[in-house]
Amino acid sequence: MVDMALPSGSIRSEAASRSRALERLRLSDQTFYYLTRAAAMFVLVLLGGVIISLIIGAWPAFSQFGFGFLVSERWNPVTENFGALSPIYGTLVTSLIAMLIAVPVGLMIAMFLTEMCPMWLRRPIGTAIELLAGIPSIIYGIWGLFIFAPFLQDTLQPFLIGLFGNVPLLSAMFAGPPYGIGVLTAGLILAIMVLPFITSISRDVFEAVPPVLKEAAYGVGCTTWEVVRYVVLPYTRVGVIGGVMLGLGRALGETMAVTFVIGNAHKISASIIAPGTTISATIANEFTEAVGDLYTSSLIALGLILFVITFIVLSIARYMLLRLERRIG
């Protein structure tokens, strides 16, 4: 009896331990699944949290000033009277200057990299341009403040003032003394910063053009420029717009580089060489020094406005890039 019971008992215990092990595996498998799902949901919670916390933080300012907050140019911490118009204006104008320069230059570099550059040089140049994108914005800021702004003050700004001084309309755009720092300087620094983003996305979408299309165009005798202009660009238009929007998103939200060189002046002036401010620069400069709930709340309201603007721009960017991806894939 004893030696009969022993093996059957060990079989039973083996079966039990096996089912226990399987149970454990099933449990850990389930746990892992729910963990990953929770993490994926967390990304959504994060965005929701950002929006909700900003709305709550901005509420006092919006309820105090109402719609007027968006269209008022006042910014007076002493009388606690705040309006967002001049930061919004500065954000839009600096980004506009940046895009006016970075878009054509970026597209030209992408054309050079995909159609003209010798094969062995493509990777190094592409990498170098992308390294520009990796440099932290504070480095652009310190460089802009100590090197670029004095340089502009001595050269470009006096030149522009002299050149357009007597031209109606344009003279107002370049009126005032050459401070070095100001809206134009911030726009130029932003142009250097977003250039790599636009370049690398345009290059990627240019490379996605089926070679057959380009070869056919070259085959009937098109020049390089004609191939880019009439084959590559129309084919990749959606993607290029997506890339431009992505760059615009960066430019709108960029903080440190702009904070150093914009001058932090809460006024809208017609001259683009005058100091101004942007949404992000205002927050960075004033948030820790803001006294009073209304002041803090107004700054958070500015943050909310910035987030809404970039959210819209980035959504358009992603939508465009997705459309191109679907067409190619």
Partner 1 sequence: MNSLYAARRRRNIITKALSLVATLFGLGWLVLILGTLLYEGFSGLSLRVFTEMTPPPGAAGGLLNPIIGSLILTVLAVLIGTPIGILAGTYMAEYGRHEKLTSVVRFINDILLSAPSIVVGLFIYEVMVYPMGHFSGISGAVALSVIVIPVVVRTTEDMLMLVPDTLREAGASIGLPRSLMIMRIAYRAARAGMITGVLLAIARISGETAPLLFTTLNNQFWSTNLNAPMASLPVVIFQFALSPYKDWQELAWTGALIITMTVLALSITARALSASRKQS
Within 214-253, which residues bind partner 1 (CB under 8 A)?
223-226, 228, 246, 249-250, 252-253
Which residue from 265, 283, 320, 324 is in contact with partner 1, where contact means CB under 8 A?
283
Q: Which of 183, 195, 261, 320 binds partner 1 (CB under 8 A)?
A: 195
Q: Is 145 in the site for partner 1 (CB under 8 A)?
A: yes
Are 67 and 84 a contacting pair, CB within 8 Å? Answer: no
Min dist. Cβ of residue 131 to partner 1 (A): 6
> Residue 83: what are its φ and ψ, rounded to 5°?
-145, 150
91, 306 contact by CB (below 8 A): yes
Stretch that binds partner 1, among 133-141, 202-210, 211-219, 230-238 (CB under 8 A): 133-141
Q: Which is nearer to partner 1, 201 or 271 (CB)?
A: 201
Plot region of 69 (φ>0 → left; ψ -120 to 50 → alpha; else → beta): alpha
d(CA 109, CA 238): 18
50 binds partner 1 (CB under 8 A): yes
Site for partner 1 contains 35 (CB under 8 A): yes
User: Between residues 10 and 28, which has the closer beta carbon with respect to partner 1?
Assistant: 28
DSSP string computed for 293-321 = HHHHHHHHHHHHHHHHHHHHHHHHHHHHH
What contacts 72, CB < 8 A, 6 or more positions away?
65, 82, 83, 84, 85
Residue from the set 38, 71, 163, 270 that interacts with partner 1 by CB under 8 A: 38
CB nearer to partner 1: give 41 or 270.
41
Nearer to partner 1, 265 or 271 (CB): 265
Among 134, 168, 211, 219, binds partner 1 (CB under 8 A): 134
- Asked if 100 is part of the footprint of partner 1 (rule: CB under 8 A), the reply reads no
H or E, element range at 54: helix 2-65
Tokens 């092990």, located at residue: 21
If one asks whether residue 127 binds partner 1 (CB under 8 A), the answer comes out as yes
Gap between the Cα atoms of 103 and 250, Å rounded: 13
Helix then strand count (H, E) for the chain reads 15, 2
Report if residue 21 touches partner 1, rule: CB under 8 A. Answer: no
Stretch touching partner 1 by CB under 8 A, among 10-18, 154-162, 171-179, 189-197? 189-197
- Stretch in the footprint of partner 1 (CB under 8 A) among 62-70, 169-177, 211-219, 303-311: 303-311
Of 11, 100, 138, 170, the one binding partner 1 by CB under 8 A = 138
Which residue, 180 or 303, is less far from partner 1 as judged by CB? 303
- With tokens 């269209």, the residue in question is 71
Partners of 81 in the β-ladder? 76
- Of 94, 95, 137, 269, the one binding partner 1 (CB under 8 A) is 137
Contacts of 80 (CB under 8 A, 6+ apart): 292, 294, 295
Among 42, 66, 165, 167, binds partner 1 (CB under 8 A): 42
Cα–Cα distance measured from residue 15 to residue 74, given in angstroms and rounded to the nearest whole number: 79
Residue list 63-92, contact with partner 1 (CB under 8 A): none
Q: Which of 151, 149, 183 is nearest to 265 (CA)?
A: 183
Binding window for partner 1 (CB under 8 A); candidates: 76-84, 138-146, 156-164, 211-219: 138-146
Q: Is 129 in the site for partner 1 (CB under 8 A)?
A: yes
Scanning 111-119, 161-169, 178-186, 206-214 for contacts with partner 1 by CB under 8 A, the matching segment is: 111-119
Contact of 213 with 235, CB cutoff 8 Å: yes
**Token pair 């009969």 is at which residue?**
4
Residue 69 backbone dihedrals phi, psi, to 5 degrees: -55, -35
